[in-house]
Structure 1
Amino acid sequence: MRLQIHAVKFTADQSLLDFIQAKLNKLDTFHDRIIGAEVFLRLDGADSQKIKEKIVEVRLTIPGKELFVKEHDKSFESATDRVLDVLKDKLVRCKQKRNDISSPAIAQAKSQINEEEEVFEADEL
């Protein structure tokens, strides 16, 4: 997975970047076709002297879809954990939709294929 981390209007230390990298690499266990991720780290209230909260935004790219999650908390680490919980749920849902044999669209496609095969067999006789 290709990962880009952007710290907006501040410099993030290497331990934070390594923490985020390690956490996002674990997402491969929930979806095997993740293309890349883009992480934005922001400080809420950075214009004033007092920083209120820290914001983590993640844009995750998988084939045919782009997932976006934004969370805020008192630290980047806890916000990252909250983002990962939401992303895990979204990835599992996307993978289930992709693999769901009983979905209405797949059932309709299968019935159309069966009808075409029956028509083809009748023409051969």
Structure 2
Amino acid sequence: MQRMKVNMQSVNFTVDRKLVDFIQRKMDKLENYYDKVIDADVYLKVENTSAKENKIAEIRVNIPGDDIMVKKQCKTFEEAVDEATSTLQRVLLKRKEKVRAH
């Protein structure tokens, strides 16, 4: 299976290999829902707050004629990426159905 091109950016910290692999696996799965994804940008940052849920994952998926942006804030990056990709799956499925209907 071809891997989706994923551009990762992290603000003020270095992403470890385990997290990079986790994100890549999650993003690759999105192609099962919508095969026209061009590429994706993943932004990771830690918000300066005393709250425990301070890890932010923003994912932008580029598809022909549109960008889909999802932002989630959780206790861990894995959790945030997990929630963001779940939301993206639903959005991409809807998009696929809409395209199929035309």
TM-score, normalised by the number of residues in structure 2: 0.90
- Secondary structure in 2 aligned to 1:81? helix
In 2, Cα distance between the equivalents of 1:42 and 1:28? 25
Structure richer in helix, relative to its length = 1
The structure with the largest strand share of the pair is 2
Which stretches in structure 1 are left out of the alignment for 5+ residues?
102-125
Deviation at residue 2 of structure 1 after TM alignment: 1.5
Matched, 1:6 2:16: no
Task: Tell me whether 1:16 sits opposite 2:23 in the alignment.
Answer: no
Structure 2: tracts of 5 or more residues without a match: none
Q: Is the 8 A contact 1:55 1:70 kept in 2?
A: yes
Aligned residue in 2 for 1:96: 97
The answer to which structure, 1 or 2, has the higher relative contact order (CA under 8 A, 6+ apart) is: 2
What is the correspondence of 1:65-80 to structure 2 with a 5 Å cutoff? 65-80=66-81
The number of residue pairs the alignment matches comes to 98
Aligned: 1:59 with 2:67: no
User: How far apart, CA to CA, are the structure 1 residues paired with 2:86 and 2:51?
Assistant: 25
- Deviation of residue 58 (structure 1)? 0.2
Report the CA distance between 1:9 and its aligned residue: 1.1
% identity of equivalent residues: 38
What is the root-mean-square deviation in Å for CA atoms of aligned residues?
1.3
SS in structure 2 opposite 1:85? Answer: helix
> Which runs of at least 4 in structure 1 moved beyond 2 Å after TM superposition?
none
* TM-score (normalised: structure 1): 0.74
In structure 2, what is the Cα distance between the partners aligned to 1:81 and 1:37? 15
User: Which residue of structure 1 lines up, in the alignment, with residue 85 of structure 2?
Assistant: 84
